[in-house]
Chain A
């Protein structure tokens, strides 16, 4: 096992470093708040208050009291983009500040931007006035009325807000990020994919700085319905832990070539070591198969040129039994096993935001932190120990079968 310290690794031109972290979730609206609450064993789960969710029978972890932000768009358009925009703006802003990157430091065309964006759900209330105005006496729809009168009730820019990439584009406008970009969707594997693409853009010289991460889903009735129907909110068999819940979150990482980051004196949180991807649904079609999850982790280890025993910390993507089984099978090698953390027990299932959030959380923890037992994976309970992050493996898994894994070699947090 390696221990962290600067410089942990030789500076090579093709290495990519993480120089900035930003996150927002139910535990806090900045990373220091989130880390403090996490280490105190707090959970963001709460009763849902925004609408009557009694039919869903679950808790959720919303982000509260987000600081207002300025954009050059109308407040109604910003509202149409929903919480996605606020989560993205907040996490990008914090990440850039933590990397000490100010306006003009990089040319806009040199700034890449990749994100996994959670589902954008239409608010039924945005459309209902149009529907109600078009109802036929027999309770059906009078389509002539719908277009002549009903559709006038819909905010003209509403359709733009329904595109997953529009909040992303607004953030690129606000922060001047005009370089390479892509938006992936909508689960945790897309968050890993975003970091991978950013690392590739930097390694290949297509960008000088990159932001990468993800934004989860807003807690809405449609989102909860989707999660419930996919059995995402049901505890694994035999699990005594509370049932899973959805959590709102956004998280972003600033990536730079290691050599130039060192040159400008940037704080190096970690170096990116490897990625792995795979895809296969489980037999019941409700989650990724254990084999696919294992395959992505093995590919990431191979990409990084290391073995399972070199990993100090595993951040689980979900509370699903398939992931835990794959992790335990791979890492129970007889040597000192890695610490396995289920951050979702604290912040909920944060989907596309999960990988970057886990990364930001892990890399921000103070040296020799003691993790609360309640956030350790079930088989690791009672095995809490002080630890320093050396190598960190993070998963990003979709219930549709997509799997991503990434490995960081960490320096100590700030």
Chain B
């Protein structure tokens, strides 16, 4: 079994979020502190304790123009369509079309598949009520698409991305809840380092702003229920935070072996220096009270990068705006940084974008790289009332100019899976 450590750089990025149809627009709006959170229009929210979310405009989503791809469209979930938009931007930026050996290009995607609709549950009820399953009847029902079965499968999205972008290298689907996007990038890093691929399209996507995706989080009381206006609801690290805001989106990075990128004259936009993952192994519904899992993930990412904690110049926090997460993430960051904790800026993109679940880690990694290249720290908006238990420099409300070259980006998942990426400005 051969492994060799190689430097892995970023040669393209793309994203689609409630505040932008591409990375440039998203970054610009985030720099200006624009919130993408509004009342939900995609379904009727009457009677719900939370009626807000981050939605991507349908007009930003491309279709399947080519006749060859129209069959694929039937299997495509909204999450995949978001990912296609993000990946197309990244692939174009990296000029992946010029690579001849397509077997060296892989795809690593964090995604959980599409939720069933309530209408489809009714149809299932009609054909599968009681103990009898009339599968032929169900698929004959013109209102029920058997493609529903495949839209729910995460690896269908991965496979379609491989077809769309003609990637014949390794392909894998990561399903670790809110850590999935960052884990997908971390796994892609390992794949390139070990020589199993030269290039990987890595990232995550999610679309949970629908009935069944939403009601689940309503039931576990994880969403923000108290807000004066939608744009004020996501307020990470603020004392009046009371839950996260569900959102949708996708983010993609093109990871590439440095030698490969240089040989083809690709523009290098940054470097993935390290990756760490851990499990809280504590309780299924609670974070470890001392932040052990988050702490270990950050430590491992730094160790993987061969850097001391003193090298960190910025932290893109998981920062969900839930009481528990933000307090414990703060604690874990303080454990990692020690006396420097108050000197290192920390901010949460979720204050503007909301929580895009599997997409979060990928979108935030992309914004972190853009911030480094533009010497800009994106703000944490809605930071109005300091919480005595959250006492770091959260870059409150207004973006800040600061040259910085090394950052970490945190992603922590339901159930206790944690991931941390160490990212750097590219230096020869």
Contacts A181-B417, A229-B139 known; 5 new A-B pairs at CB < 8 A: A55-B132, A159-B215, A166-B415, A193-B170, A281-B163
Question: Which of B150, B175, B215 sits near A184, CB closer than 8 Å?
Answer: B175
* Chain A neighbourhood of B304, CB < 8 A: 206
Q: Assess whether A148 is in contact with B174, with CB atoms less than 8 Å apart.
A: no
B344 on interface, CB distance cutoff 8 Å: no
Q: Give chain B's interface residues, CB within 8 Å of chain A.
A: 1-3, 43-48, 71, 103, 106-107, 112, 116, 118-119, 121-122, 124-125, 128-129, 131-139, 146, 149-150, 152-156, 158-159, 162-163, 167-177, 183, 186-187, 190, 194, 196, 211, 215-220, 276-285, 292-293, 296, 300, 304, 413-417
A-side binding surface: helix, strand, loop or mixed? Answer: mixed
Nearest CB of chain A from residue B304's CB, rounded to whole Å: 7
Q: How far is the CA of A22 from the CA of B93 in the complex (A)?
A: 46
A77 on interface, CB distance cutoff 8 Å: yes
Q: Assess whether B47 is in contact with A221, with CB atoms less than 8 Å apart.
A: no
A203 on interface, CB distance cutoff 8 Å: yes
* Chain A neighbourhood of B129, CB < 8 A: 128
Q: Assess whether B121 is in contact with A226, with CB atoms less than 8 Å apart.
A: no
Q: Assess whether B47 is in contact with A184, with CB atoms less than 8 Å apart.
A: no
A183 on interface, CB distance cutoff 8 Å: yes
Nearest CB of chain B from residue A317's CB, rounded to whole Å: 15
* Chain A neighbourhood of B156, CB < 8 A: 400
Q: Assess whether A180 is in contact with B278, with CB atoms less than 8 Å apart.
A: yes
Q: Assess whether A279 is in contact with B133, with CB atoms less than 8 Å apart.
A: no
For this complex, 22 residue pairs linking A to B, each with C-beta atoms less than 8 Å apart, are A14-B3, A72-B283, A77-B284, A127-B121, A143-B118, A157-B219, A159-B220, A163-B175, A163-B415, A165-B176, A178-B278, A180-B278, A180-B300, A186-B154, A186-B173, A200-B190, A204-B3, A221-B133, A275-B196, A279-B162, A279-B168, A402-B159
Which of A167-175, A323-331, A338-346, A364-372 is found at the contact surface with chain B?
A167-175
Nearest CB of chain B from residue A81's CB, rounded to whole Å: 9
B-side binding surface: helix, strand, loop or mixed? Answer: mixed
Nearest CB of chain B from residue A230's CB, rounded to whole Å: 8
Nearest CB of chain B from residue A325's CB, rounded to whole Å: 18
Query: Per-position contact with B for A260-280: 1 when CB-CB < 8 Å, else 0?
Result: 000000000000111101111
Q: How far is the CA of A274 from the CA of B44 in the complex (A)?
A: 53
Q: Assess whether A178 is in contact with B281, with CB atoms less than 8 Å apart.
A: yes
Q: Give chain A's interface residues, CB within 8 Å of chain B.
A: 14, 16, 51-53, 55-56, 72-73, 77, 108-109, 113, 117, 119, 122, 124, 127-128, 131-132, 134-135, 139-141, 143-144, 146-148, 151, 154, 156-160, 162-166, 168-170, 172-173, 176-187, 189-190, 193, 197, 199-200, 203-204, 206, 221-222, 224-226, 228-230, 272-275, 277-281, 285, 292, 295, 299, 303-304, 398, 400-402, 404
